[in-house]
Amino acid sequence: MRPIRSGPFLAGLLTACVAALPTVAEARPDTRTFTCDQVRSIVQNERAITMNTGAHSYERFVSDRSQCMYMEIIEPVRVPTQETAQCFAGYRCISVTIRRQFE
């Protein structure tokens, strides 16, 4: 058996794989880099979007209840932005637990 010469093939494959990885520019938007009005506008336009809220935190924001699952309700969310620490960004979907009471 003779060895397979795969140098150029592997280099091309590696280049293709690295090119397919997301770049920093494609990362989630960060609420801290926008004004409060811009964050609200993004959430309203996208209707549902996941954004960074800190160095190691992120959250999914929705514009209204229609973006939640059947057994979820919405609650208001406040996030840090360029000019304020508590900007109303939109809503988050939260699960509702239904408790049956037996007589």
What does the block give as tokens for 92? 């988050």
Query: Strands of 48-54's sheet, edge to edge?
Result: 48-54, 57-62, 87-95, 72-79
Mean pLDDT, residues 16-44: 79
**pLDDT for the residue numbered 27:** 85
Each domain of the chain, given as residue ranges in start order, spans 24-95
- 78 to 40, 43, 88, 89: CA distances (angstroms): 10, 12, 4, 6
For residue 1, name the pLDDT band (cuts at 50, 70, 90).
low
Contact 3, 51 (CB under 8 A): no
Pick 63 or 14 by higher pLDDT: 63
Contact 43, 62 (CB under 8 A): yes
pLDDT > 80? residue 6: no
* Per-residue pLDDT reduced to its tens digit, 49-93: 999 999 999 999 999 999 999 999 999 999 999 999 999 999 999
Q: Is the pTM of this model over 0.75?
A: no
